[in-house]
Chain A
Amino acid sequence: MGILEVKNVGKRFGGLQALSDVNLSVKENTVHAIIGPNGAGKSTLLNCLVGKLIPDTGSVMFDGQSVLGRAPYEINQMGISRVFQTPEIFGDLTVMENMMIPCFAKRDGAFMLNAMPMVTNQKEVLERAEHMLEEMNMAEKRHMQSASLSRGDKRRLEIGMCLSQEPRLLLLDEPTAGMARADTNNTIDLLKEIAAERDITIAIIEHDMHVVFSLANRITVLAQGTPLVEDDPENIRGNPKVREAYLGETA
């Protein structure tokens, strides 16, 4: 039994069958990559996992509980964090405030009216945010407005915000899309470090084969809304079906 079990999931948009009969099992403490050509249904699948879309058929179980029909914030509170394709951070707020918000969410839950708190009340959250910033090597940028960070730093901050909630499953949607090579390599190193040091499962959607093969323990190939193969990276590399679907080569 994996931590995330997707069974027979199907999703239709009008005449387009975006997903059909998707089965996927993500084992705990692995890095599981989902790859596939454009329009294969990768993002639709991800949106079904986090509550943005509700699949027409099938079930999605996280740690033995169904996530279907729950709001995104409830799914997040269950232990699934999501990193977006373009970094989604609180651009008007400072880096420190960005980091404090998930720390408050972790401590206080989905809603807490603490409009008149004492300083001591916040100490533990402040320390936690400070610690996380240091871990992400962003401590000296704490007073910067986060919208003015570089793309790579925004990504770092977003990943840090997700990690500060100590999620059990981290979903990454093309984390290196549109990044320069150096930023991409930094992100790969960061993710490797996270996967090695933390008790966390990572599911990653990615186009860049360099990123996929340097991170993943397990790869699922999606094509036309349905899984083609699921295997170890070494076997995927040589699989003729994958080459055909993904690279458009005829075997």
Chain B
Amino acid sequence: MFGLDKRDTGVLIIVTLLALFAPIILNPFPTDSAMAQFNAGYPDLMQKFVIFGIFAIGFNILFGLTGYLSFGHAAFLGIGSYSCVWMFKLLGYNVIPGIVLSILISGLFALLIGFVSLRRSGIYFSILTLAFAQMCFALAYSVLSNPRFNLTNGETGLQVYANDPQWFHRDGLPDLPHLFGLSMRATQKIQVGAWEFQLNAGYYMCAIVMLICFYLAIRIFRSPFGMMLRAVKSNQQRMNYTGLNSRPYTLAAFVISGMYAGLAGGLLSAVDPLAGAERMQWTASGEVVLMTILGGAGTLIGPVLGAGFIKYFENIFSKINDNVLHSWFAFLPDGLEDFMVFIIHPFIGKGWHLTLGILFMLVVIYLPGGLVEGGQRVLGWFRKRSAKPDAKAGKTEPAE
């Protein structure tokens, strides 16, 4: 289907179903139950899942295929966000021009940064991209926000003010980002028994964009271009002596992944029209590296899983506080209850980074292929178990 083989079509269908039914799948616990705080099916978080999924899919095209580890991809995310908000300020709240511009501008920056950075490979390339990203951050945070020329609005973050031109804004349109009149905040709440599911317009727009991005990524992975990118990772020497110039291949991959990042940034602004410089900081660049490696670099679905995993931890684990812990362990004797809370305390709330770090280390050491490898191992284990009785039966038969 769509020029994909059977297996890839299967993966695409699974991702489509997951994306479509995410509001239901991610809300397994009744609204009023104690476990409801583990529900992730609210619009804000689901939007983050798919947007950072796009970011990680794009990053994986560069890192997973060519092996060039960029530590500055957050710069493109930030550039995309700023571009999109500027379109809101100038043209109006329709998200289409903003998203298109964010892809174009971040592609342009990627071309420039990639052209310089790709002269080196390995650690030097990583450091160069990191340097560029920090430059972009510094520019956005202070340099480009002086009163005479205010492009980024510095610490406050770029946002839409009442006196902005918004040339195409009409009275009938919502005063928030919208898609031809459909507000990104529009949410349909569905009550099923004790459960409540929220179907959000912004989420579904992002999910559709993510599916398109995912489909394009599959096509790139399976194309001759993708094969050349894997050849770059495998043996650049042979590539050069096979009459292929590896520079434009890596640059193309860099620009494509930069555009993916820009698109993700544009969508972040589209669901919440505020762009801050902290989106460009090196921690944000590191986060996408973590997502890709955690999910499985070089795999199709890995980055999406990794993005979901990290965003889930960031939003759910960080919300658990000592009071919640005390309520969980209330059945224990007082001393023991305090002790348990004391033990777990560093791993929750603000300490979610610690939990994530430990998980990341475990995955990297025991599952170098990321969560995807973990899934494959579990599947293989089940297959072995179901295959074993047959094998035994086959062996005993001739004896009888």
Contact = CB atoms under 8 A, between A and B. Distances in A.
Given A90-B234, A116-B219, A100 B227 contact: yes
A88 B238 contact: yes
A93 B230 contact: yes
Contacts of A73: 239-245
Contact of A93 (B220, B231, B245): B231
B244 A161 contact: no
Contacts of B216: 116
B227 A93 contact: yes
B179 interface: no
Given A111-B249, A113-B225, A115-B226, A102 B234 contact: no
A161 B227 contact: no
Given A76-B243, A161-B242, A104 B228 contact: yes
Contacts of B227: 93, 97, 100-101, 104
Given A91-B235, A92-B230, A119-B3, A101 B244 contact: yes
A104 B233 CA distance: 17
Interface in B73-132: none
Interface string A88-132: 111111000100111011101111111111110010010000000
A90 B244 CA distance: 13
A77 B223 CA distance: 22
Contacts of B242: 73, 76, 101-102, 105, 161, 165
A72 B240 contact: yes
B237 interface: yes
B244 A81 contact: no
Contact of B241 (A88, A117, A122): A88
User: How many B residues are at the interface, by size bracket?
Assistant: 20 to 34
User: How many A residues are at the interface, by size bracket?
Assistant: 35 or more
A93 B241 contact: no
B240 A117 contact: no
A177 B94 CA distance: 66
Contact of A81 (B234, B235, B241, B248): B241
Contact of B233 (A50, A92, A109, A118): A92
Nearest to A147: B234
B224 interface: yes
B325 interface: no
Q: Which interface residue of B225, B230, B233, B241 has the most chain A CB atoms within 10 A?
A: B241
A114 B223 contact: yes
A89 B235 contact: yes
B135 interface: no
Given A88-B237, A89-B235, A92-B234, A116 B223 contact: yes
A177 B113 CA distance: 43
A82 interface: yes
A71 interface: yes
Contacts of B219: 115-116
B234 A111 contact: no
B252 interface: yes
Contacts of B234: 90-93
Interface in B333-377: none
Q: Which interface residue of B219, B227, B237 has the most chain A CB atoms within 10 A?
A: B227
Contacts of A161: 242
Nearest to A87: B238
Interface in B187-225: 216, 219-220, 223-225
Interface of B is mostly: helix
Nearest to A146: B234
B235 A111 contact: no
A19 B216 CA distance: 52
A77 B243 contact: yes
B233 to A, nearest CB: 7
Q: Which interface residue of B216, B225, B242, B245 has the most chain A CB atoms within 10 A?
A: B242
A90 B231 contact: yes
Nearest to B251: A111
B3 A118 contact: yes
A127 to B, nearest CB: 15
A73 B233 CA distance: 17
Q: Which interface residue of B224, B225, B234 has the most chain A CB atoms within 10 A?
A: B224
Interface string A35-50: 0000000000000001
Contacts of B248: 110-111
A89 B231 CA distance: 9
Nearest to A91: B234
A89 B245 CA distance: 16
Nearest to B244: A105
Contacts of A105: 242-244
Contacts of B239: 73, 90, 101
A70 B227 CA distance: 25
B235 A88 contact: yes
A81 B241 CA distance: 7
Contacts of A91: 234-235
Contacts of B245: 71, 73, 110-111
Contacts of B235: 88-91
Contacts of A97: 227, 230
B247 to A, nearest CB: 8
Contacts of A84: 237, 241
13 contacts: A73-B242, A89-B238, A91-B235, A100-B224, A104-B224, A104-B227, A104-B228, A109-B243, A115-B223, A116-B219, A116-B223, A117-B223, A117-B224
Given A90-B231, A114-B224, 13 more contacts: A73-B242, A76-B242, A82-B241, A92-B233, A93-B234, A102-B242, A104-B228, A105-B244, A109-B243, A110-B244, A111-B249, A113-B252, A161-B242
Closest A-B pairs by Cβ, 7 of them: A76-B243, A115-B225, A110-B245, A90-B234, A92-B234, A111-B248, A88-B238
